[in-house]
Structure 1
Amino acid sequence: MVRRAARPETPARLRLLVTVTILVAAALLVSACLVMARVQQQVRIIGDEAAPQAATAADLYFALSDMDAQVARLVLTASRDEFAGSQIDALGAYQQRGRQVDTDLQLSLTTAAGESERAIVLDLMHDLGVYRERVWQALTAGPTAGGYYTQATNVLHLDLLPAATRLREASESRLDQAYAAKSATQTAGVILAVLLGGALLILLIALQVWLARRFRRIMNPALIAATLLTVVLLVPLVTVLIVQGRMLGQARDERLVPFLDLSLARAVSYDAAADTSRYLISDGLDYYRQDFDRKADALEADGTGLPSVAGGPDVGPYYTEQVVERWQTYRAGHTRIVQLADAGKTTEAISALTGIRRGDAAFDFSYYDAAVADIAASRKDDFDRSLRDAEILLTGWAYIPAAALGLVILLVPVAVRKRFAEYR
């Protein structure tokens, strides 16, 4: 008698089981919707903010390097009528890079994450004004242009490029943080889906078995539908979280990071090319020859230079070797120009540096840079494509769990409605 009194009644036990099942389904609904909405938002942050900011910072460094290289060409060919064509080309390139720098700085200022980044951009703007003043002095000073240009290039290398490097590092750090935040969210989402989804399936199956034993009802269509609906939701939900994570991780490692590395390599190569002009402007100052060799050696290094950053699964080894070979061809041209300058053949050295025929340094450098630019553009396009694919994959997933689990929550009471009616 005591044992019978202590045993919970069937309606109470059924009510408890149904309530727990609905609560777990509701918890899964809320967590799945929040996680998927958060992942979508974080993907948009990567695509609309973090990645473009990193690309802008890389582009700024490159544009600054090329701008100074064009100034060196202008100073070198000033007052030489035979190089009027080169002067016009250099002036056009300088103006283009100047506009590029201004645009990058405005974008960086608009998207600066905090006061530290904003301060870096403001310092860059101030130093850029000083640099342009020195450039104007160099271009109008006549015979003393070399001295003013030295001051300008010192501002570039001592102030502008280090600040651009800090901005680049800050933007890449933000990119890493954005990826880390998304990775944490998707990991939490997978764990919650497995735990809550597994608990919901266990409860649904347990409720089905309990009803079958207690009420001799082997099949309960509503519970079977709720169980199948839960499985149909959980499998693609977890799959989408894992696949988009792998997709964007691969896009970053194999496309975006190599693109940023190639942008840096292009900037270094432009700065190295400017060292050839600086060597001629300075009447053979050995520092510029050594500086060129240091940068060229870094570009040719197997671990970190062009052979590494230009390669990849989407770039054949032949094309990668062509990039390195084209750079080495330009380097050989640099050596020839230095030898001409050392022999006192300044006009011939300038002609070899600025000429546009095959074998001239300007042609060889453009030939090399075109290959690097093609690979860099391909990497950036591939990253953008992967980003769009991830966004498409996530489309609708902030609402799909609500629809599926809302239906599950409705089906559970429907499944036991007749059983409760038996006790009225």
Structure 2
Amino acid sequence: MPAVLEATRIAARRAVRPETPARLRLWVAVTVLTAVALLASLSLLMARVQEQVRIIGDEAAPQAATAADLYFALSDMDAQVARMVLTAGNDDLAGSQIDALGTYQERSRQVDADLQKALTTTTDRAALQQLATDLAVYRERVWQTLTAGDAAAGYYTQATNLLHLNLLPAAQHLRDSSTERLSDAYDRKSVTQSWAVTLAVVLGVALVLLLLILQVWLARRFRRVLNPALLLATVLTVAVVGPAIVVLGLQGAVLDDSRKTDLQPFLALSQARAISYDAAADTSRFLISDNLAYYDDDFRRKSTCLTAGGSCEIPGGLSTVAGGPDVSPYDRDQVLTRWQTYQKDHERIIGLARSGRTEEAVGTLTGIRRGDASFDFSYYDAAVDEIATARADAYDRALHDAKTVLTGWPWIPVAVLGLVILLIPLAVRRRFAEYR
């Protein structure tokens, strides 16, 4: 046993003696292992970040946009039904009725498309199936509304109640859950990105230091000024680690900034747009219900949410969600101003109805000339749609830029650091030959 211990001590002593190749082997082994660890971590984490960006762009963000669009389309469907009820049997308003029918059919197709998209991307299938079932019942009530003649108001009340008690809450649940999934996707990417940067810095600095130390040690031990292979390996390491950190930071900054300035405002503006459509439908519902005050009160609540924000679904109101660095103050103010114009139209229509001038109120609501409520609402909606479209396009460009920046990066570390790993033993091959 003492002989074994003594042999172990001798072997260890020889391993660390500078004049033996054992120390050189140790440096080479540690340096190569560090390079392998850097290659594996950087390549795998880059691939993971790339996949997470793809999930955000191809799944999470479209899911959130689809859910927001579904809520909006459902709101407008009911608004168009209300217009058709009000214009039914009035030849002077036949144009408005045809327009309302065409818009209803367009929104109905939009709802079906959104549901189909949601079914292929979400795991909450039970909620979607229930929503589809309630939608079928709603459409049946709408058909009854349009064919019931004098009983249309009663069927429409059933339809709109079903929409507000079942369909819109279900759509809101889908919207909230998809927004949460989007936030989770961003959080997971941020964690992976942080790990990638940390490991790139730690292992990259460690590898460069090991290469420099090995370079200095060889220069002193073997009287060589520079080792070209080690010098190239050092340059390649810096050349891959530095850009990798820049790429990780750049794509993260692009996506995070676009999320704040484009995606989140787009989703908030989509929600505001849906509320405005539902509020505009309250004007029609007031007339259909023989001046039921509930609908006027409901309109005022939604309109206050749009103009002042506060404790509602649109914090800050239209001025906040329509604003931003990419929107001029004029365009932002136009959204709010045009809604306030419709708000005045609503007050005028309510006043006409309460004074017994119902036919004039219906004409003011459904007319398509400048100054009519329908025209003013379309004018407002065009301003909202222009900003929303610009934000959606800006976010798409940011996603494209992030994907472009990450292109090839799962394989670039493999190629570059693989060459580094080959260069290290090549750099010391002749030194080992001197001991043979």
TM-score of the pair, normalised by structure 2: 0.95
Identify the match of residue 352 of structure 1 among 347, 364, 370: 364
AA partner of residue 278 (structure 1): R
Query: 1:370-415 CA deviation, whole Å, 9 max, x = no partner?
Result: 0000000000000000000000000110111011101111111111
Show CA shifts across 1:275-307 (max 9, x none).
000000001000000000000000001543100
Classify the secondary structure of the residue corresponding to 1:357. coil
1:304-354 CA-partner distances (Å, limit 9, x unpaired): 310000000000111101110000001001100000001111111011001
* Separation in structure 1 between the aligned mates of residue 42 and residue 247 of structure 2, nearest angstrom: 12
Q: Partner amino acid for 1:157? A: H
Measure how far apart 1:77 and its partner are.
Answer: 1.2
Q: Which position in structure 1 is the counterpart of 2:48?
A: 38
2:326 paired residue number? 314
Deviation at 1:78, TM superposition (A): 1.2
Any idea what the Cα deviations from partners look like across 1:222-276, whole Å, max 9, x if unmatched? Answer: 1111111111111100010011001101111110111111110010000000000
| C-alpha distance after superposition, 1:40-74 (max 9, x if no partner) | 11111111111111100000000000000000001
Q: Supply the distance in 2 between the matched residues of 1:15 and 1:133 (Cα, whole angstroms).
A: 81
Is 2:299 aligned against 1:292? yes
SS at the partner of 1:314? coil
Using the alignment, how far apart are the partners of 1:418 and 1:103 within structure 2? 69
Q: Given the alignment, which residue of 142, 153, 163 partners 1:156?
A: 163
CA distance in 2, matches of 1:6, 1:271: 84
The alpha-carbon distance between structure 1 residues 244 and 5, as it changes in their structure 2 partners (threshold 3 A), is closer
Task: Give 1:139 deviation, angstroms.
Answer: 0.8
Which of these residues, 291, 294, 305, is aligned with residue 317 of structure 2? 305
Tell me the distance in 1 between the aligned counterparts of 2:168 and 2:258: 28
Shift of 1:171: 0.6
Identity of aligned residues (%): 66
Q: Give the aligned partner of residue 85 of structure 2.
A: 75
Q: Are residue 107 (structure 1) and residue 124 (structure 2) matched?
A: no
Mapped partners of 1:18, 1:342: distance in 2: 92
Q: Secondary structure of 2:137's partner?
A: helix
Which of 412, 421, 424 is equivalent to 2:424?
A: 412
Q: Which residue of 2 aligns with 1:273?
A: 280
Q: 1:329 aligns with which of 328, 341, 363?
A: 341
Give unpaired runs (5+ residues) of structure 1. Answer: none
Task: Mark the CA change 1:6 to 1:268 in structure 2 (over 3 Å): closer, same or farther.
Answer: same
1:209 and 2:219 are equivalent in the alignment: no
Query: Which one-letter code corresponds to 1:29 in the other structure?
Result: L
CA distance in 2, matches of 1:255, 1:304: 17
Q: Distance in 2 between matches of 1:326 and 1:48?
A: 35
Aligned to 1:248: 255
Provide the residue aligned with 2:63 in structure 1.
53
Question: Match for 1:198: what amino acid?
Answer: V
Return the match for 1:143 from 150, 175, 178. Answer: 150
More deviation, 74-83/377-386: 74-83
1:88 aligns with 2:112: no
- Superposition RMSD on alpha carbons, in Å? 1.3
- 378-387 vs 300-309, which moves further: 300-309
The alignment partner of 1:219 has SS state of: coil
Give, as a single letter, the amino acid of the residue that structure 2 aligns with 1:15.
R
Normalising by structure 1, report the TM-score: 0.97
SS at match of 1:415: helix
Q: Tell me the equivalent position of 1:385.
A: 397
Q: Which moved more, 1:231-240 or 1:76-85?
A: 76-85
Q: 2:245 aligns with which of 218, 234, 238?
A: 238
- Residue type of the partner of 2:70? L
**One-letter identity of the residue aligned with 1:65:** S
The code of the aligned residue for 2:423 comes to: L
| Cα 1:3/1:26, change in 2 over 3 Å | closer
- Per-residue CA deviations over 1:107-163 (Å, capped at 9, x if unaligned) read 111111x2xx11111111000011111111111111111111000000000000000
Structure 2 partner of 1:63: 73
**How far, CA to CA, are the matches of 1:175 and 1:235 in structure 2?**
30
Once the two structures are superposed, residues 70-126 of structure 1 have per-residue CA deviations (whole angstroms, 9 ceiling, x without a partner) of 0000111112222111111100001110010011111111111x2xx1111111100
- Find out whether 1:171 has 2:183 as its counterpart: no
CA distance in 2, matches of 1:385, 1:6: 62
The letter for the 2-side match of 1:175 is L
How far apart in 2 are the matches of 1:335 and 1:177?
A: 43
In 2, distance between residues paired with 1:163 and 1:201?
A: 56
State the alpha-carbon separation in 2 of the partners of residues 402 and 410 from structure 1.
12
Counterpart residue type for residue 97 of structure 2: Q
Kindly tell me the number of residue pairs found equivalent between the two proteins: 420
SS at match of 1:312: coil
Measured after TM superposition, the shift of residue 4 of structure 1 is 11
For 1:252 and 1:176, locate their aligned partners in 2 and report how far apart those are by CA, in whole Å: 10
Does 1:125 pair with 2:135?
no
Change (3 A) 1:22 1:287: same
